[in-house]
Amino acid sequence: MTLVLHGRRVVGGVVEGEALVSHETISGWGGIDPAKGTIIERRHELHGVCFTGKILVFPGAKGSSGWSGFFQTTRLLGTAPVGMIFTVTTTKAALGAVVTRVPTVTDLDRDPVEAINTGDWVRIDADNGIVEIKRAAEPVDSAGQP
């Protein structure tokens, strides 16, 4: 079964990949290690988890304006997520998506953090604001373990 959500494009393009879902906002400056593509914020639910090559699903950005610089660095180092889906549009998250240059959607008709699980296969058609979700055969945790 495929679940389809509709939203608004932030950065165009089409991409598919495995979802990594954060129920917490993400800090760019000091919250991620751009060299490794991991969340490093100590009390974050995804502390130590790598987002490289994943569809990063999260509520939004927090912290300072370092978001754009840190996420641009992930693009330059090849550690960026392949796509982003977020719930709340802020200038930090939107600019971070633009400089990362990955297909990104927001303002979906259903909260993506609640609709998508880590390990689900997700296709983002950001040009048309469409997100297709295929459930993982077996639920996994944030580290990708069943």
Report the catalytic residues: 64
Phi, psi of 52 (to 5 degrees): -55, 130
Phi/psi at 98 (5° precision): -60, -45
Look up residue 138 and give its two tokens: 């077996």
How far does CA 98 lie from the centroid of its chain? Answer: 13
Cα separations in angstroms, 37 against 22, 83, 100, 101, 146: 14, 13, 12, 15, 22
